[in-house]
Structure 1
């Protein structure tokens, strides 16, 4: 994930605070630049620490500070404000010491889990409190790492359509469509809509497909939610083409399905696997994006 903090452990091409202050993306008015730069050079000449240590916030308008935090998510370890979901994902990758991919996204989820040790190292000063949005950003980061970045919003709030790319349905003007799902993957004959869920599926996942070509993505830990023939039939009836889950959960589900002789129910409309491990999610999306959903 992009972070312009000059001392970010993941920053391969470190900037300077001067470069950050002058960045067109920060949009900081000239009268605030000298004071903000002096504060950053004095109090922020270090990488995120463990434990997190609050420091004086740079003197600038609140809107500019929000933009600074977006450009430099490491600052949530140093400024006493609640982190954004995007920043939480950044601290997950700092803790893992590598970018978030389909291979380690479950481990990243466990890092930020509020009830499981050891947690972040380093981490934000405060907790986020937006668990659903964090999981959506984890999925988005997997896609970005695979070469399918999130489309940036243009000035009016609509995404700038670029391929390959994905659309976050919880940002900008697209948020009016969030009831349909969380992430859109451009595809033919219909776009794929990814519904991101946590550790428990229940009926929330089942009814989130809205009879559109749906993809389930979650950190499900209860395999018994998935292995009955009736549940598999319902998922397909509701429009799911594939449901991705942690590799261990997937193994437990398929072991039970095979032992029960019901593997014929675990096949989607395209004649391929309905249930799949998270580790193949990015590969699958790369195969179908901008092409045909029938390849899934």
Structure 2
């Protein structure tokens, strides 16, 4: 969704490729000859650019639209980019539910589809959708240093499935720095099940998902367990939350749907960015 480069030569001239002039010109000529058109629907795959494995990987990272044109399985980040293209806008908490629907395997809504089926982890796609929401809202992903440790920039967030932080993946998916303990976001798809309940590990936890079963959340015992396990908030689509709140009111259980701070435990995804901006680098007691 950026302005992009003016030519393939400009893309290949980036420091990350470290290409000398003859090699750069040869790869650029191949790209100009076979990849000068925009993405298409349906996809029209062709042999991959004539480049080394490292250069091809870099090209696909810089220009994920190429996954619409080559017979290479798309990465999770490319899937998020194709969702963004389908929406025609950056992914935010206001449209992330629509972005999720774009990539749903049962009824994908691609504007330009990947040329090859996605073979990666659906969970990683969900995490990156949440990460994109944070980035669009002003809490970007922290970069890595040469040793693959995050460079702590504020405001910012850390993906716990990348770099040296991958050793902490069992604790959750995304870390948002905050006092007195960092917030750990556990990202799920449509079902919470017990996996969400135990993902907080009695640390301050946040649930973020595209949950479609309000019955997973409305019993008094389940709300007590979420609070006991350390959840401060669980974010879900507005439609699911509306049904959930209606049930809680009908059954006179709304008093259970609060966190340790006495504020709402269940919240709409459309409130997620505002809440994270209010507490990142500050106090979780304001959540």
TM-score range, shorter chain: over 0.9
**Who is 1:182 aligned against?**
173
**Who is 1:283 aligned against?**
274
Write out per-residue CA displacement over residues 87-144 of structure 1, whole angstroms, 9 at most, x where no aligned residue: 1000001011111110110110010000125x21112112223200000000000001
**Who is 1:160 aligned against?**
151
Query: Is residue 139–residue 196 contact of structure 1 (8 Å, CA) maintained in 2?
Result: yes
Structure 2 matches for 1:137-176, cutoff 5 A? 137-176=128-167
Query: Is residue 223–residue 253 contact of structure 1 (8 Å, CA) maintained in 2?
Result: yes
User: Cα distance 1:43–1:212, how it changes in 2: closer, same or farther (>3 A)?
Assistant: same
State the superposition RMSD in angstroms. 1.2
How many residue pairs match? The answer is 286
1:248 and 2:232 matched: no
Higher mean Cα deviation, 51-60 or 156-165?
A: 51-60
| Equivalent position SS for 1:198 | coil
Alpha-carbon shift at residue 218 of structure 1 (Å)? 0.4
TM-score, with normalisation over the residues of structure 1?
0.94
| Equivalent position SS for 2:175 | strand
| Equivalent position SS for 1:220 | coil
Structure 2 matches for 1:105-116, cutoff 5 A? 105-116=96-107
| Equivalent position SS for 1:216 | strand
Whole-Å separation in 1 of the counterparts to 2:142 and 2:221: 37
Unaligned runs of 5+ residues in structure 1 are 1-9
Write out per-residue CA displacement over residues 271-294 of structure 1, whole angstroms, 9 at most, x where no aligned residue: 110000101111111111010011
1:24 and 2:15 matched: yes
Query: Is residue 43–residue 56 contact of structure 1 (8 Å, CA) maintained in 2?
Result: no
Write out per-residue CA displacement over residues 174-198 of structure 1, whole angstroms, 9 at most, x where no aligned residue: 1110000000001111100000001
**Who is 1:229 aligned against?**
220
| Equivalent position SS for 1:128 | coil
**Who is 1:133 aligned against?**
124
Write out per-residue CA displacement over residues 57-103 of structure 1, whole angstroms, 9 at most, x where no aligned residue: 22222122111111111111111111111110000010111111101
Whole-Å separation in 1 of the counterparts to 2:132 and 2:143: 14
**Who is 2:113 aligned against?**
123
TM-score, with normalisation over the residues of structure 2?
0.97
**Who is 2:261 aligned against?**
270
1:82 and 2:73 matched: yes
Whole-Å separation in 1 of the counterparts to 2:125 and 2:19: 28
Whole-Å separation in 2 of the counterparts to 1:64 and 1:29: 12
Whole-Å separation in 1 of the counterparts to 2:21 and 2:224: 61
